[in-house]
Amino acid sequence: MHFLRLSIIAIAGLVASLCGPVLAQSSYPDKPLRIVSPFAAGGTTDVIARIVAQKLAEGFGQPVIVDPKPGANGIVAAEHVAKSAPDGYTIIIASNGTHGINSSLFAKLPYDPVKDFAPITRLGYTGYLLVVNSTSPVSSVGDLVARAKANPGRHSLAYTASVAQLTGALFMLTTGINMIPVPYKTPTQAFTDLIGGNVDALIEPITSALPQVKGGRLKALAVTSTRRSSLAPDIPTFAESGYTGFEVTGSLAFYAPAGTPKDIIAKLHSGLSRVLTSPDTKEKLLQVGWEVALTSPTELAEALNAEIATWARVFKEANLPKAQ
């Protein structure tokens, strides 16, 4: 009988130890969550994160804190989350820079965007506009391509951000043209030179370029997203302009550290989906230029692999240097 009592106690202890994590996960979340942002407070990504955080907190009944960790093209934030506890209380609102482009842009990363993260859902996307001076004789993507092919190396293509730079490189590879890339530190400088005739074309996020188009100072040739933008439904896509296979967007997605339990990922996905599909949230995101496009964790993983492969090809074929 003494042996039997010991056995029962041992079995009970084993069952309790096995059930402990399950019970802990079933009560998730029972403390505040953190959304780590790769970019500075006050920027678009930070604004979006705070919109989502407020609604997510209401649904979960727990505070959701936005924690900006800018630096090194998003590397600081991505590395921090990759090394955080996989308990669902620290997630990242990642861009396709941190998860996609950085794999090709840098010779070495302190994190692996695939192996070190558990995908949750894509948040959405924003497109880029290919624009020219409003007085330019160029009125379509085809016009610009024809002029560039007739005068290789004589027309210029400006940009202000790394994604726009790579979009320009992909555009030239796709169309077989050779334009001179011209970098600018700010959109204001780029707009001034484009309006003044110092550069021929510009690839710029729709949020900053569209006011110039609506103001009559610039002419939009096409948007880089797969679908026309809800912000400017009259502007055709590149595919509609005859250039299929050229779709580039700035995108945001949520990831947790690798090893986060699947049931917690499911709860995060459900909570974020509920927030992002609400009309109020969708309208607020559209006001800052972002359109909601959710995915399952599996679909996000597939999209991430495709993004990494795309930019690896662009860097190789365009012979772009890697940052050290």
- Check pLDDT > 50 for residue 300: yes
Boundary residue ending a domain (223, 238, 260) = 223
Cα torsion for 144, 146, 148, 150, to the nearest 10°? -150
- CA 23, 25, 29, 30 torsion-angle sign: positive
- 68 shares its domain with 103: yes
Q: What share of the chain is helix, strand, coil (3-state, %, to 5)?
A: 45, 20, 35
Sequence-distant (6+) residues with CB within 8 A of 106 are 73, 75, 322, 323, 324
Classify burial at 282, counting beta carbons within 10 Å of its beta carbon; exposed 0-12, middle 13-18, buried 19 or more. middle
pLDDT at residue 37, rounded to an integer:
97
- CA 21, 26, 30, 36 torsion-angle sign: positive
Count of structural domains, the chain: 2
Taking a C-beta distance cutoff of 8 angstroms, is the pair 81, 255 a contact? yes
Query: Measuring CA to CA, which residue among 253, 257, 295, 270 is closest to residue 89?
Result: 257
- Check pLDDT > 60 for residue 310: yes
Taking a C-beta distance cutoff of 8 angstroms, is the pair 88, 260 a contact? yes
pLDDT at residue 26, rounded to an integer:
65
- 214 shares its domain with 138: yes
Residues facing residue 219 across a β-bridge: 132
- Check pLDDT > 50 for residue 149: yes
Q: Is residue 234 part of a domain?
A: no
pLDDT at residue 2, rounded to an integer:
45
- 34 shares its domain with 79: yes
Q: Is residue 25 part of a domain?
A: yes
Q: What is the pLDDT averaged over residues 249-272?
A: 97
- Domain ranges, residue 302: 19-126+251-317
- 200 shares its domain with 281: no
pLDDT at residue 127, rounded to an integer:
92
- 150 shares its domain with 194: yes
Q: Is residue 233 part of a domain?
A: no
- Check pLDDT > 90 for residue 10: no
pLDDT at residue 291, rounded to an integer:
95
- 255 shares its domain with 192: no
Q: What is the pLDDT averaged over residues 239-243?
A: 93
CATH code, domain carrying 306: 3.40.190.150
Task: Give the orientation angle of helix 162-175 with respect to helix 297-317, to 10 degrees.
Answer: 70
**Alpha helix stretches (DSSP H) within 154-248:** 162-175, 187-195, 206-214
Q: Is residue 5 part of a domain?
A: no
pLDDT at residue 141, rounded to an integer:
97
pLDDT-derived band of residue 164, with 50, 70 and 90 as boundaries? confident
Q: What is the pLDDT of residues 105-142, one digit of tens each?
A: 999 999 999 999 999 999 999 999 999 999 999 999 99
- 25 shares its domain with 97: yes
pLDDT at residue 90, rounded to an integer:
98
φ/ψ bin of 176: left (φ > 0), alpha (ψ from -120 to 50), beta (otherwise): left
Q: What is the pLDDT averaged over residues 53-73?
A: 96
Q: Is residue 239 part of a domain?
A: no
Please give the mean pLDDT across all residues of the chain. Answer: 91
Predicted model pTM: 0.86
- 207 shares its domain with 290: no
Distance separating alpha carbons of residues 228 and 246, to the nearest angstrom: 13
What is the DSSP annotation of 84-133?
S-SSSSEEEEEETIIIIIHHHHBS--SS-TTTTEEEEEEEEEEEEEEEEE
pLDDT-derived band of residue 179, with 50, 70 and 90 as boundaries? very high
pLDDT-derived band of residue 323, with 50, 70 and 90 as boundaries? confident
CATH code, domain carrying 205: 3.40.190.10
Q: Is residue 240 part of a domain?
A: no
- 102 shares its domain with 146: no
**Pairing status of strand 180-183 against strand 117-133:** unpaired
Q: Is residue 204 part of a domain?
A: yes
Q: Is residue 172 part of a domain?
A: yes
- Check pLDDT > 80 for residue 7: no
Distance separating alpha carbons of residues 154 and 287, to the nearest angstrom: 37
Distance separating alpha carbons of residues 236 and 258, to the nearest angstrom: 39
- 132 shares its domain with 48: no
- 94 shares its domain with 30: yes
Boundary residue ending a domain (223, 243, 261) = 223
